[in-house]
A and B are shown apart, each in its own frame.
Chain A
Amino acid sequence: MKRKSAMWIVGAALAAALAIGVSPHATRVASADEPRYFAIRGVKIYRVSAPPLDNGTVVIADGLIQYVGASAGARDEDGNIPPEALVIDGKGLSVYPGMIDAGTDIGFGEDKPKDAATGAGDGAHSTSPAKISMGPEDRPGTTPWRVAADEFNSDDKRIEKWRDAGFTTVLSSPTGGMIPGQSSLMDLSGGRPGEMAVLPQAAMDLSFKPTGGFISFPGSLMGAIAYVRQVMWDTQWKEQATPIYNAHPQGVERPVYDRTGQVMAEAIARRELFLVPANNQIQILRALRLIGEWRLAAAIEGGQQGYAVAAEIGERHVPVIVSLKWPEKSKDADPEEETPLRELRFRERAPGTPAAFTRANVMFAFSSGGLEGPKDIQKALKRATDAGLSEDAALNALTLNAARIFGVADRMGSVEKGKIANLVVTDGDFFSDKTKVKMVFVDGKRFEVHEPPKDEKPAAKPAEKATAKPRKAAPAKSVKKPAGPSAITPPVTTDDHPATRPGKKPTVTPNDNVSEKPNISEVAEGTWEGGR
């Protein structure tokens, strides 16, 4: 008898120890009460890289997908699920790879960093006192060394907003200037920017919006293009001259140090993706020509009139990040003014661009392009699917193709073993407006999503800071309690509610006006003036 009870004690201690997660790979456990292993079983899995599984199991741990496969055996016998895993019953649910928004200024824009003293974020560069530029040698509006991840403000309210809608990953771009810096691919897991950065130097942004005027160079579109061309020439010269000088400096004039040339040369050597803004067909064809002239690995940003030139884009194998901010009548348009037919046609046909791209074998992803929030993104996606884009193609654009464009398809964009655990759990077809996102995993961290009130008034819901701690809310589906400590708390009561905790003031989410970002939203304007 004594021996038996001793064994029970040892067994229980072992189980407890395992459950607490004593293991060398403890790094990714966000908080002590989060389980190390999650499993969702009996769920429909849209793998993207393979046909969907109607009844599948996915296991994640340590921020990665550990297992994906058909659900096997009875609930208690599924050999693929570790016994200490928190198992979520996926009946009626669907799992998608985390969605990727390939063009935002999340982390920049209106949300200034808390520490105003650092002066980091969007403000410093776009409003710095204008230095009169007398020519290309003054390098106006040029800061290619800026990396978005370095200045990313993780207090941006949009992180949570996007994540709750199923976007686990965004491309965040610095603003201001013709060569403003490098965009970073960020997982919206909260915490420090370093932890969120999947690819800090994901892409080099370009813009042809002149930063000068009649006083400072360049003041015109042709001036901006000429400027970027001169930078490309200087970069090529740097690539040529530096090794020659280094190999044999005697008797040779030393190449002048040019930070821009240096950084650009390094970016080109890495085959970093250049983002070239182009929205109407004139701009798109011009962008294709310049990309060819400068021999860049590049993608087009905006691309809304792609329906007219899909074949040309397909021939050049240039991917497009399509802005979902479809062109529409300007709010302050003069009602008397007659809209040109050309513009009316553009507004009508733009949402058909993604479908046209599918037919022309153009690889594309989507960017929210300045849309206010995920609800608008869903509406915009619906317009694209109504115009002929298949849900399959739309899903690819939001996941694996976006990853491919940035060269990270080996680590994200599909539900595959070994990939980063970015997953969206919904209660139905992601593209249906009746579907709700229930849970989101970002880098393996779990976030439960509770439904905001229908009118989206943020005041009704206390906005919590985007932190790693998943919010506790009434789970819609039953969960299987693991052998170890439970991670699910009972439904919210008023005693526990942040609003009623003593000393706590609820903060109100301000109206999330996405600030204008010259190199994305001006492209996404979709108005006819073009004039980039």
Chain B
Amino acid sequence: MKRGMYKCRLVNGLPVFALIVVAAWLGGSPEIGASGARSSGVEPKDAQVTLIKNATILTITNGTIEHGSILIRDGKIAEVGTNLKAPANAKVIDASGQWVMPGIIDCHSHIAIDGDVNEGSVAVSSMVNIKDVLNPEDPSVYLDLAGGVTAANILHGSANPIGGQTVVIKLRWGKPASELPFEGALPGIKFALGENPTHANFDAPPGIPPRYPATRMGVEDVIRQAFTGAQEYKKKWDQYNLKRAAGEKNLIPPKRDEKLEPLVEVMEGKRYVHAHSYRADEILMLIRVGNEFGFKVRTFQHVLEGYKIADEIAASGAGGSTFSDWWAYKVEAYDAIPYNAAMMTQHGVIVSVNSDDAEEARHLNQEAAKSIKFGGLNETEALKLVTLNPAIQLGIDNRVGSIETGKDADLAIYNADPLSVYAVVQKTLIDGQVYFDREKDISARAAIEKERKDLLDKEKKAEEDAKNEAKREEDKAPKPDTDTKPPQVEIGATGDAQ
């Protein structure tokens, strides 16, 4: 099954399984319980005040502060500046010689999903919801934290023209699934245009026709049909509500349809559309279809030919969430250029750089830096690609995306300028709590290995004990008594076959 393909692009580099092994080794998986306090590495929320001091602070919106400090209270940034005073009981993080930037926001991620990323059986799968299947114990959550990511847009795959409902999460490692979603973030839905949805069903077994659509024309048709159905559904409900308000009796409400309701929400502006797309023609197509049915695309994802139609995208109000420099892995990616992000930015599009991959998400700081070389963005503009811009795209910029008083204390602390290839994340904070601490991680490894060894030894011993016990039972087993003449003998005597 080529399902991996429909995660928007092939996974390159380190095989995923090796990552998981490393992650498990690193992760040490804190127990998730009702109170996160039971987890290792996460301090209780009511601790208070934290002071990060003496760092180079990249605020994004208010320039860079040398030897700066950040005071955090109740999970929010209370103060930013130099020479800040903290109360006596404050937890102090000495960040001398280090850089602090807002936590990275990955606008296209498939981590933390339990089971398949795609409901690839039908062309319109808007009834499924990623929020139903969040897996907070995915080691990738921890690994991405170690790469400075604090929030991510968790998306359905790209097998369908209209995919499933999506959710924005904070990477609160150790918390249960119910505490991952970003409070107040609008829900989303995934659309996919181009090669992925049209190729999804070409492996159909004999006798079963491949799923419609097989062409870009078909993709447009599927989306139109779905929204036509959604319009009719909305009309039915509006009529019913009017009648009910007018006091009519004996009204049977229309049936609720899990597939059409999210599409109605899209038309009402209550749900964001994130459209996986590559080619200029299909991007323009979706803008037109949106205009026709009364919805706006929130972000075009990948949008590798976005530079060709940057003005049109900007005019439509859509954001563009793209790769730094991936290209030519598919025919539709052939015209991709690493200047895409910079060029779209320069034409007024809000642009973010995303990962679409658990491994890539660990170095989005470097991916952002590439747009300095390719396109001449300045350092702040480059950092915006992975902080403020994805926050704006996801409608959470009032909470995250820059270091300003009042915003959530979602921060990443590096040992060098984040735009440098030498930068390594030292700590990652979400809501003012340290969710990743490199020093603690390294020093905890010995204990984790010991615990693993102890558990394995215990199991081995139990196995051996069980084996010895079984052997003892066998030896003790009474030999068949001659006077009751067990049937085995009888069977042989009567010639019955066994």
The residues of A with any CB-CB pair to B shorter than 8 Å are: 132-136, 212-223, 225-227, 229-230, 233-234, 237, 240-241, 244-245, 247-248, 251-253, 255, 281-282, 285-286, 289, 308-309, 311-312, 328-329, 337-342, 344-345, 347-348, 453-455, 459-462, 492, 494, 497-500, 505-506, 508, 530-532
CB of B130 within 8 Å of the partner chain = yes
CB-CB under 8 A from B252, the residues of chain A are 240-241, 244-245, 252-253, 255
Q: Which of B24-32, B44-52, B349-357 contacts A (4 or more CB under 8 A)?
A: B24-32
Total A-B contacts with CB atoms under 8 angstroms apart: 211
Decide if A233 touches B115 in the complex (CB within 8 Å): no
CB-CB under 8 A from A136, the residues of chain B are 127, 258-259
- Which of B116, B120, B127, B490 is A226 in contact with, Cβ under 8 Å? B127
CB of B203 within 8 Å of the partner chain = yes
Who on chain B is nearest to A253 by CB?
A: B252
Who on chain B is nearest to A249 by CB?
A: B250
A179 to B204, CA, bound (A): 26
A339 to B127, CA, bound (A): 35
CB of B21 within 8 Å of the partner chain = yes
CB of B1 within 8 Å of the partner chain = yes
Interface string of B424-459 (1 = CB under 8 A from A): 000000000000000000000000100110011011
CB-CB under 8 A from A281, the residues of chain B are 32, 176
CB-CB under 8 A from B25, the residues of chain A are 338
Decide if B486 touches A460 in the complex (CB within 8 Å): yes
Decide if A240 touches B253 in the complex (CB within 8 Å): yes
Decide if B121 touches A218 in the complex (CB within 8 Å): yes
CB of B137 within 8 Å of the partner chain = yes
Who on chain A is nearest to B20 by CB?
A: A340
CB-CB under 8 A from B498, the residues of chain A are 459, 508
User: Knowing A344-B452, A454-B476 touch, does A499 contact B137 (C-beta < 8 A)?
Assistant: no
Who on chain A is nearest to B118 by CB?
A: A220
CB-CB under 8 A from A455, the residues of chain B are 473-474, 477
User: Knowing A220-B119, A237-B253, A530-B114 touch, does A462 contact B487 (C-beta < 8 A)?
Assistant: yes
A225 to B128, CA, bound (A): 8
Decide if B251 touches A286 in the complex (CB within 8 Å): no
Closest 6 CB pairs of A and B: A221-B115, A454-B477, A220-B116, A499-B487, A340-B24, A342-B29
A40 to B197, CA, bound (A): 72
A178 to chain B, nearest CB (A): 14
User: Knowing A221-B133, A460-B487 touch, does A212 contact B121 (C-beta < 8 A)?
Assistant: yes
Decide if A214 touches B121 in the complex (CB within 8 Å): yes
CB-CB under 8 A from A212, the residues of chain B are 121
CB-CB under 8 A from A227, the residues of chain B are 127
CB-CB under 8 A from B253, the residues of chain A are 237, 240-241
Question: Which residues of chain B from 76 to 112 have any CB-CB distance to chain A below 8 Å in the complex?
Answer: none
Decide if A282 touches B114 in the complex (CB within 8 Å): yes
Who on chain B is nearest to A223 by CB?
A: B119
Decide if A217 touches B132 in the complex (CB within 8 Å): no
CB-CB under 8 A from B488, the residues of chain A are 459-460
A224 to B64, CA, bound (A): 49
User: Knowing A226-B129, A230-B258, A244-B252 touch, does A214 contact B120 (C-beta < 8 A)?
Assistant: yes
Decide if A285 touches B116 in the complex (CB within 8 Å): no
CB of B201 within 8 Å of the partner chain = yes
A532 to B135, CA, bound (A): 11
User: Knowing A213-B121, A222-B130, A223-B128 touch, does A233 contact B256 (C-beta < 8 A)?
Assistant: yes
A453 to B229, CA, bound (A): 68
B386 to chain A, nearest CB (A): 28
Who on chain A is nearest to B477 by CB?
A: A454
Decide if B256 touches A342 in the complex (CB within 8 Å): no
A301 to B1, CA, bound (A): 31
Most B CB contacts (10 A, CB to CB) among A214, A244, A248, A461 go to A214
CB-CB under 8 A from B473, the residues of chain A are 454-455
User: Knowing A230-B127, A341-B451, A460-B487 touch, does A531 contact B114 (C-beta < 8 A)?
Assistant: yes
Interface string of B184-211 (1 = CB under 8 A from A): 0000000000000000110111001001
CB-CB under 8 A from A219, the residues of chain B are 116, 118-121
- Which of A215, A337, A341, A347 is B204 in contact with, Cβ under 8 Å? A215
CB of B421 within 8 Å of the partner chain = no
A7 to B265, CA, bound (A): 93
CB-CB under 8 A from A229, the residues of chain B are 127, 258
Decide if B132 touches A338 in the complex (CB within 8 Å): no
CB-CB under 8 A from B33, the residues of chain A are 308-309, 311
CB-CB under 8 A from B127, the residues of chain A are 136, 223, 226-227, 229-230
Decide if A282 touches B255 in the complex (CB within 8 Å): no
B460 to chain A, nearest CB (A): 10
A435 to B136, CA, bound (A): 45
B157 to chain A, nearest CB (A): 9
Decide if B256 touches A532 in the complex (CB within 8 Å): no
